[in-house]
């Protein structure tokens, strides 16, 4: 059970004790005020670990005041950095291939292909003449059938070589197909996205403050390897704490954002003025429509109150407090709003 659960249970006990005495309490307060117990809270910011790597450095200590973007922890970047370098190399290779496809064939390559065609044509002519010569001698029984077959195979090979040379020359002169260029572009885009992904991953190995606040807790030490999803740092945000209370069901209808109240913090002589920031629409316990009228009196609604021009920045979270609402004023405001 975490700290919030324990504090929540303590608050519920306070609320239940208070509600038992609610009837007598209201009659005992001549000025018709209603005290509600609660506690002082700071906005908690939990920084979650996204990669399972060892912590190699701490750049801040618990209790430090941090600005937004301040470096808190460094996790080992070697594995991610090596993978990023491999992705960058692959991206650069694909970029070079795309550039080559777009640029097309060089003049030197086209001229070399033309020379290959000329050489293949000459070779074919010589092979044809040689085949005719051997064929004549074979008919005169001066050469064997085997010699004629060899000449014929040589003639076929030279014909195939000429066909290949012509095809290569045509390819170089026509340039690369649009489909090839588009495929190369798509492959490059994928590689670039992979590089960006790992660049962001590398940045997440540097745990930084998302906003200004005080560093409250660092659960892990240097050398430890926090699991993915674990909280590696806790910050307390905001310029000052707020009051966290449970509004009893009896006055819930009169409380809304902006409702004024007086706050007294245990151990602090000064009384503070506050206003309701928010209040939950649903009760903390069983829904009201499932309860009898007597049971509904035990419901409560979580609310947060902000201090008005109060100097409470140095007070820690968890201090018990009492919030007082002026019932006469609330009823009067409620009556005026209803009549309108």
Q: Are 56 and 76 in contact (CB under 8 A)?
A: yes
pLDDT (tens digit, 9 = 90+) per residue, 244-260?
998 888 888 888 899 89
- Within its chain, how far is the Cα of 28 from the centroid? 55
**CATH code for the structural domain at 3-76+211-339:** 2.40.30.170
Q: Taking the alpha carbons of 24, 26, 29, 33 in that order, is the dihedral positive or negative?
A: positive
> At 295, is the pLDDT very low, low, confident or very high (cuts 50, 70, 90)?
low
Can you tell me the distance from the alpha carbon of 205 to that of 183, in angstroms, rounded to the nearest whole number? 34
Give the HSE-up count for residue 150: Cα atoms under 13 Å, Cβ half-sphere: 8
Share of the chain above pLDDT 70, in %: 78
Is the confidence at residue 43, as pLDDT, over 80? yes
Is the confidence at residue 108, as pLDDT, over 70? no
More confident residue, 249 or 70: 70
pLDDT (tens digit, 9 = 90+) per residue, 183-197?
888 999 999 999 999
pLDDT (tens digit, 9 = 90+) per residue, 195-218?
999 999 999 999 999 998 889 999
Give the mean model confidence (pLDDT) for residues 51-72.
93
More confident residue, 335 or 89: 89
Nearest CA to 252 out of 276, 286, 222, 232 is that of 276
Which pair of structure tokens corresponds to residue 280? 């939950």
Extents of the domains making up the chain: 3-76+211-339, 81-199
> At 297, is the pLDDT very low, low, confident or very high (cuts 50, 70, 90)?
low
């Amino acid at each position: 059970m975490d700290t919030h659960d324990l504090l929540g249970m303590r608050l519920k006990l306070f609320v239940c004790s208070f509600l038992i005495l609610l009837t007598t309490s209201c009659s005992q307060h001549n000025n018709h005020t209603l005290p509600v117990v609660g506690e002082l809270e700071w906005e908690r910011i939990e920084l979650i670990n996204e990669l399972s790597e060892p912590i190699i450095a701490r750049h801040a200590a618990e209790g430090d005041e941090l600005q937004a973007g301040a470096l808190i922890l460094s996790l080992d970047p070697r594995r991610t950095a090596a993978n990023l370098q491999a992705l960058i190399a692959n991206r650069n290779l694909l970029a070079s291939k795309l550039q080559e496809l777009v640029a097309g064939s060089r003049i030197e390559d086209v001229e070399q292909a033309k020379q290959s065609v000329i050489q293949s044509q000459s070779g074919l002519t010589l092979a044809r003449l040689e085949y005719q010569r051997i064929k004549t001698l074979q008919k005169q029984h001066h050469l064997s059938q085997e010699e004629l077959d060899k000449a014929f195979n040589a003639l076929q090979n030279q014909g195939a070589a000429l066909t290949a040379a012509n095809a290569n020359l045509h390819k170089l002169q026509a340039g690369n197909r649009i489909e090839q260029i588009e495929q190369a572009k798509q492959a490059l885009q994928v590689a670039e996205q992979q590089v960006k992904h790992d660049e962001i991953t590398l940045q997440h190995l540097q745990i930084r403050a998302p906003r200004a606040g005080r560093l409250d807790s660092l659960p892990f030490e240097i050398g430890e390897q926090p699991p993915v999803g674990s909280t590696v740092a806790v910050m307390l945000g905001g310029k000052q704490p707020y009051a966290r209370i449970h509004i009893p069901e009896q006055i819930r209808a009169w409380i809304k954002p902006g409702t004024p109240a007086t706050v007294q913090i245990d151990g602090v002589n000064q009384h503070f003025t506050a206003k309701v920031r928010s209040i939950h629409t649903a009760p903390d316990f069983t829904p009201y429509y499932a309860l009898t009228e007597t049971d509904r009196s035990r419901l409560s609604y979580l609310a947060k109150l902000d201090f008005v021009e109060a100097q409470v920045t140095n007070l820690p979270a968890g201090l018990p407090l009492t919030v007082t609402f002026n019932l006469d004023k609330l009823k009067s405001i409620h009556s005026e709003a209803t009549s309108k």
